[in-house]
A and B are shown apart, each in its own frame.
Chain A
Amino acid sequence: MQAAPSRAIPRAPDRPLGVARPRWGERAIVASLFLCGLLSVVTTLAIVLSLLQPVLDFFAKVSIGDFFGGRDWAPLFNPPSFGVQPLLLGTLTTTLWALVICIPFGLGSAIYLSEYATPRVRNTLKPILEILAGIPTVVYGFFALTLVSPLLHDIWFFSAKKPDIFNALAAGLVMGIMILPTVASLSEDAMSAVPQGLRAGAFALGGTKLQVSTRVVVPAAISGIIASFVLAISRAVGETMIMLIAAGNNPNFTLDPREGVQTMTAFIGATGIGDVPQGTIGYLTIFAVGATLFAITLVINLIAIRLVRRFREVYE
């Protein structure tokens, strides 16, 4: 060591200023992390590509108008008919009922956990809530079919016509319970991240706890909350097992929650596990429905990204 220990400035390196010594280990780490990121992009592209050919084959045989315009879904029957609207409506109804449960209750639990609960209560409740998210969906499916559906049937007093044993309502509500922890947990994270100064300022202006929570914290965390809603919608649209077990697998063009429906995912699930011969129109139908599902979730996510950007409030 030539330099005296007291000198803070190291000697200039032999290479030009601004060019760092190459750090190969670090580059390897960066490259592998990049590959991790690339994996999801490549997977998405691969899914699109693998859907493309069968979907093109399908629409060579069935017109787009028949597919999206028809109200009779019987692709594997004889003679077949390919109107996808009952499946779209089935997915829509069940998703709506899921949102009816998971948005108010999820947001409510998030507000409670973030603003009202003491740290001790929060640290107990949040893990319990997250256990709900870890229950296999097949269990939720049978929960809907064997408990919720008969219960709805017994307590139904809204109309003379009672819910069927397989109905969109029970399946949707149970799906809402399944998604609830996702909404609660993500919204709670977003609300906890709101700077303490905002709350303090609002309290200083004389706000009550409720006013501070709903008029300051929730708007400040809105981008995270919307993100949690969108994730909830995507999960609801994509949920398969509950729909397969409890929703009835009945391609029924109806918004009536008391009747059985078939969702897009349930059709894919029911048909995909069977012995549909490869290359037949029935086989291609799976891909056509899959592509429709993919397009729907893509659109939901694009809308979500726009919403999140638009309402984001950035606090430094």
Chain B
Amino acid sequence: MTGRLVARWRYGALLLAIGLLAAACGGGNNDGGSTGDGETQLSGTINIDGSSTVAPLSEAAAELFQEQNSGVKVTVGTSGTGGGFEKFCAGETDISDASRPIEADETKACASKGIKYEQVQVANDGLTLVVNPQNTWAKCLTVAQLSKIWDKGSKVNNWNQVDPSFPNEPLKLFGAGTDSGTFDYFTNAINGEEGRSRSDYSATEDDNVTVTGVSGTKGGLGYFGLSYLEENQGKVQGIQVDGGGGCVAPSKETVQDGSYKPLSRPLFIYPSDKALERPEVKAFTEFYVNNNQKIAEEALFVPMTDQQGTQAKAKVQKLATG
């Protein structure tokens, strides 16, 4: 008897599963229309491409957005800021992620295709140099000193080669893997060209590894995103950077107001006017700027100030209403 009951129950479950599947498939075929339960269910695909630095933000935004709008698929590519604009201005993507403002030739390409856009800031990016807590000498390094350490072919391997007043302590370097936006940004800001760097250092995409390395090496020096420093207070310490205007400590405020040079910058998304006509893209973009604090924290970036946030919202409104 029990066996048969179980068998019948299983049969019922199977039927139920098939029914649900059919319902789900039916739902998927709805083209942005509303389902029976009265609420507007968005659907469709949003194509985002561009900077690999901004990608984690867009991915975090997509994840949070999809919690409420499971019908919308968001794809986030990482072709780089330039590669992203190329696709964006060819009309292939809806939103372009950018870690720098759009350049003149890219503007021209977009204009020739009749693509209108708006530059919307979504977060602030700040990198920090970190040293071991036992390091008492390196309080502030100039960009020239950093470049001397990190440039291609550099043979600096002792702190006293950086500055004669520094002690005789072997310099051990930890840094970003070549795949990360952090690497691109750091090499560009310090050595003047993306990807230009010495290669004989411990490279990793995992900032934990840099923390482990620097906290375990008295003469260690590493770099990563600023928000990671807060999580590792005590294990490593951030140092000031002199970008020409005196020593500035890395902090949320100095990154937000841009005074922490050259390792702070705003991050942008560029939605197009055509894409914003689609309800799912409009909803997503609005969601992105309205929840920018949460998204930035989730993706380990420095959030925008209230003023920056208001400005971003206004720009999206402006583009959406034409």
Binding site for B on A (CB under 8 A): 72-74, 76-79, 81, 145-146, 149-150, 153, 161, 164-166, 245, 248-252, 260, 270-271, 274-277, 282
Contact = CB atoms under 8 A, between A and B. Distances in A.
The main secondary structure of chain B at its interface with chain A is: loop
Given A77-B152, A165-B212, A250-B200, 5 more contacts: A72-B199, A76-B178, A248-B202, A271-B179, A275-B78
Interface in B182-218: 187, 193-197, 199-205, 209, 212-213, 216-217
19 contacts: A72-B199, A76-B178, A77-B178, A77-B195, A77-B199, A78-B152, A78-B187, A78-B193, A78-B195, A145-B212, A161-B170, A165-B212, A165-B213, A166-B202, A166-B213, A270-B203, A274-B179, A274-B205, A282-B178
Contact of A251 (B79, B187, B199, B213): B199
B205 A165 contact: no
Q: Which 9 pairs between the two chains have the least Cβ-Cβ distance? A: A78-B195, A274-B179, A165-B216, A74-B199, A76-B178, A250-B202, A248-B202, A275-B78, A78-B196
Contacts of A165: 212-213, 216-217, 220
Contacts of B203: 249-250, 270
A285 B270 CA distance: 34
Contacts, number: 67
A76 B213 contact: no
B198 to A, nearest CB: 8
B195 A275 contact: no
Contacts of A74: 199
B172 interface: yes
Interface string B55-88: 0000000000000000000000011000000000
The main secondary structure of chain A at its interface with chain B is: loop
Interface of B: 52, 78-79, 152, 170, 172, 177-179, 187, 193-197, 199-205, 209, 212-213, 216-217, 220
Contact of A275 (B52, B199, B216): B52
B2 to A, nearest CB: 37
B168 to A, nearest CB: 12
B213 A73 contact: no
A309 to B, nearest CB: 43
Contacts of B178: 76-77, 271, 274, 282
A62 to B, nearest CB: 16
Nearest to B177: A270
Given A150-B216, A164-B217, A165-B212, A76 B179 contact: yes
